[in-house]
Amino acid sequence: MKKIAVSLFSCMLSCMLVLPAAAQELVVSAAASLTNAFNEMIVEFEQRHPGVKVIPNFAASGALFRQIQRGAPVDVFASADLRWMNEMISAGFVEENESLFFAQNTLVLAVPAASQIGINEVDDLTGEQVRRVGLGTPATVPAGNYSKIALEMLGLWDVLQPKMIFAESVRQVLDYVQRREVDAGLMYATDAAQGGERVTVVTTLPLPEPVTYPIAPVKRSTQPELAQKFIQFILSEQGQEILGGYGFSRPE
């Protein structure tokens, strides 16, 4: 009987030794415009850190803030503008001195590549042939807020409001343009590039300040050290090269 007990114990011990260790999970909530670049960086980061699983969550920065506000478990927050990072700081979710800029972008006017309307500049959006203009909802989508600022600077915001089709993220604006559900869309240059041959960039819109992306660890993160390592990788030369490959520029 004693021998059987010892054998069973040895078997259990052997099974325990061969069980794989539970992966460390890192939840990264990032602006929708970062989807492609961050997905590539996540693959590279996981290769550098065996046993680590990065779980990305992409959406409009305002929507991500609301998720965190409602208790969503998040370790790293990356916004497409300073506004929502400031909201995170004000709400006590992020330490002010831990927020860092890591990329910049530009706002462009894009149209379906097969468009026959003849949109060559922003003023052409006022023409009768242009019926639908896609842009992000300014209250929650940074690209939409930047679009509002640019159109107000050009004196076109009020004029174009009846034509505006609002989207929940900048990627949804891109989808509208690709599917020709709108005659034109305001989006980041990096997103327009993802449209490939189905999207044509008409022009870059003026802004008082460049589109700048901040990133920070979330205070209630259960993986604070891993969160810092992920951010440092984003800021590293390799991380910046990956971002550059998708059209982002280094912060000034």
pLDDT exceeds 70 at position 5:
no
Identify the CATH number of the domain in which residue 56 sits.
3.40.190.10
- Residues 164 and 241 reside in one and the same domain: no
Query: CA-to-CA distance for 222 and 29, rounded, in angstroms?
Result: 14
Query: Quick check: is 235 in a domain?
Result: yes
Q: Domain range holding 162?
A: 107-204
Q: What are phi and psi of 198, to 5 degrees?
A: -85, -5
Q: Is the dihedral of CA 61, 233, 42, 201 positive or negative?
A: positive
pLDDT exceeds 70 at position 16:
no
DSSP for residue 34: G
Question: pLDDT category, 12, cuts 50, 70, 90?
Answer: very low
**Averaged pLDDT for residues 188-196:** 95
pLDDT exceeds 90 at position 56:
yes
Strands 100-105 and 107-112 come out as: unpaired
**Averaged pLDDT for residues 88-107:** 97
pLDDT exceeds 90 at position 240:
yes
- Residues 74 and 89 reside in one and the same domain: yes
Query: CA-to-CA distance for 249 and 214, rounded, in angstroms?
Result: 13
pLDDT tens sequence across 129-179: 999 999 999 999 999 999 999 999 999 999 999 999 999 999 999 999 999
The answer to whether residues 159 and 80 touch, using CB atoms and an 8 Å cutoff, is no
Query: Quick check: is 127 in a domain?
Result: yes
pLDDT exceeds 60 at position 216:
yes
Question: pLDDT category, 23, cuts 50, 70, 90?
Answer: confident
Query: Quick check: is 252 in a domain?
Result: no
Question: pLDDT category, 19, cuts 50, 70, 90?
Answer: very low
pLDDT of 6 reads: 42
**Averaged pLDDT for residues 115-127:** 94
DSSP for residue 197: G
Q: What are phi and psi of 71, to 5 degrees?
A: 105, 10
Mean confidence (pLDDT) of the chain: 92
Calculate what percentage of the chain has a pLDDT beyond 70. Answer: 91
Lowest mean pLDDT among 8-12, 42-46, 49-53: 8-12
The answer to whether residues 110 and 185 touch, using CB atoms and an 8 Å cutoff, is yes
Q: Cα 210 to the chain's mean position, in Å?
A: 16
Angle at 174 between CA 137 and CA 63, to 5 degrees: 35
- Residues 163 and 195 reside in one and the same domain: yes
- Residues 146 and 194 reside in one and the same domain: yes
Query: Quick check: is 221 in a domain?
Result: yes
Number of DSSP helices (H) and strands (E) in the chain, helices first:
10, 10
- Residues 78 and 118 reside in one and the same domain: no
pLDDT of 4 reads: 43
- Residues 18 and 55 reside in one and the same domain: yes
pLDDT tens sequence across 82-96: 999 999 999 999 999
Please state, as a whole number, how many other Cβ atoms lie within 10 Å of the Cβ of residue 221.
19
